[in-house]
Amino acid sequence: MSAKSRTPLVAGNWKMNGSKAFIRGLLDDVQSELQPLALERCSVLVFPSYAYLYAVADQLRGSSIGVGAQDVDERPEGAVTGGVSAGMVRDLGCGFAIVGHSERRTLFGESDSTVAEKYDRCCEQNLTTIVCVGETLEEREAGQTLEVVHRQLKAVTDRVGVDFAGSMVAYEPVWAIGTGRSATPDQAEEVQASLRACLAEVDAGLAEATSILYGGSVTAENAQSLFEMNNIDGALVGGASLKADNFAKICEVAERVKR
Ligand code: 13P
C-alpha cells in the first residue's frame, strides 16, 4: 500500500461554535457546496458540539458525510454529571470520535492515559477514532517535538498494537491551532513521517494503511501545499470549517491532490 491508496479525509471540527440555526444553515451549505464536486476519493466528516450532534446526525442520515463527537468520556456509563459516553455517541447514529484534542488536554487536564481510556471506549462502540497529538511552542523550541508526539501516540498504540488499524492520527501542533500560523508543509511532513515510523514499529502494514491528518490553521489557501506532502493524508479543520465554501474548497483540493 502506498500514500496514494490511503483515503484522503477532510474533517471539520466545529468546536463550541454555533447555534441551532447556524449549524443547520452551515450543514445545508456544506451539503450544497459539496454536491457539485461529486467527491469520489475524499471522505468528509463533521464534528459538531454534543448539543447539536443528534440534529446533525439526523440531517446527514443517508448522506456520504460522516458525523462524530469531539470527545467521549473515559468511563462507559454511570454517575458522571456532564459526561457523554461513547455508547451514547454510537446510539445517536455517529460513527466517529476525536480523542486527545489539545484543547481537551489543556483546558480539561486530560493525560495520555485518560486519552488511551477514551480510545478504548470508542473501540468498544466501534467508533472510528481520530487520536490527536501535538507539541506546544515551548516543547518545539526545546527540541522535544518528536519525543512529545511519540509519547502521546504510544500511550494508545502500546495498549492496542495492531488493533489500532482503522483508526486515524491527527498531528495538531498546539501553536498552530487557531493562530493563523500553520506549520509549514515541511514541518508537518517531518513530524507526520516520524509518526508513521512510530506506527511501523508496531506493524509495517499498519503504518502504511493509517491516515495521518494535519490540523492547525488549515485554510483553502494553504491546503494544497500541505496535501502535496506524502505523509499528510488530509486535514482536521477548525476555523475554516465554519465557512461552507472554504471547507468545500479544502475537500476539493484533497480530492484533486491526493490522487
Ligand atoms: P484551526 O483550524 O482553527 O486552527 O483549528 C484546528 C483544530 O484544532 C482542529 O481540531
Q: Give the DSSP letter string of 55-93.
A: HHHHHTTTSS-EEEES---SSSSSS-TT---HHHHHHTT
Residue 21 included in any domain: yes
Measured in angstroms, how far is the CA atom of residue 16 from the centroid of ligand 1?
A: 12
Q: Are strands 96-99 and 128-133 parallel, antiparallel or unpaired?
A: parallel
Mutation choice for ligand 1 from 217, 247, 250, CB with most ligand atoms inside 8 A: 217
Tell me what pLDDT residue 47 has: 98
Tell me what pLDDT residue 259 has: 82
Tell me what pLDDT residue 41 has: 95
Q: How far apart are CA 72 and CA 74, in angstroms?
A: 6
Return the DSSP state at 164. G
**Smallest CA separation from ligand 1 atom 1, residue:** 238
Sign of CA dihedral 127, 242, 31, 39: negative
Measured in angstroms, how far is the CA atom of residue 65 from the centroid of ligand 1?
A: 19
Nearest ligand 1 atom, CA 176: 4
Residue 3 included in any domain: no
The predicted model scores a pTM of 0.97
Mutation choice for ligand 1 from 172, 182, 222, CB with most ligand atoms inside 8 A: 172
Report how many domains make up the chain.
1
Q: Which residues contact 92 (CB under 8 A, 6 or more apart)?
A: 53, 54, 57
Tell me what pLDDT residue 5 has: 74
Residue 144 included in any domain: yes
- Contact residues of ligand 1, CB 6 A cut-off: 13, 101, 172, 177-178, 215-218, 236-240
What average pLDDT values come out for the chain (259 residues) when binned by 10 residues?
80 98 98 97 98 97 96 98 98 97 98 98 98 98 98 97 98 98 98 98 97 98 98 98 98 95
Residue 81 included in any domain: no
Q: How far apart are CA 69 and CA 61, in angstroms?
A: 16
- CA 115 to each of CA 10, 102, 183: distance values in angstroms, whole numbers, following the listed order: 22, 11, 24
Residue 186 included in any domain: yes
Q: Are 109 and 81 in contact, with CB atoms under 8 Å apart? A: no
Residue 83 included in any domain: no
List the catalytic residues: 101, 172
Measured in angstroms, how far is the CA atom of residue 231 from the centroid of ligand 1?
A: 19
Residue 240 included in any domain: yes
| Residue 28, domain extent | 9-34+42-57+65-70+88-256
Neighbours of 100 (CB within 10 A): 28
CATH code, domain with 112? 3.20.20.70
Helices (H) and strands (E) in the chain, counts: 11, 8
Residue 18 included in any domain: yes
Measured in angstroms, how far is the CA atom of residue 78 from the centroid of ligand 1?
A: 31
Tell me what pLDDT residue 108 has: 97
Nearest ligand 1 atom, CA 179: 4
Q: Which long-range contacts (CB under 8 A, 24 or more apart) does 221-224 make?
A: 222/182, 223/249, 223/250, 223/253, 223/254, 224/253, 224/257
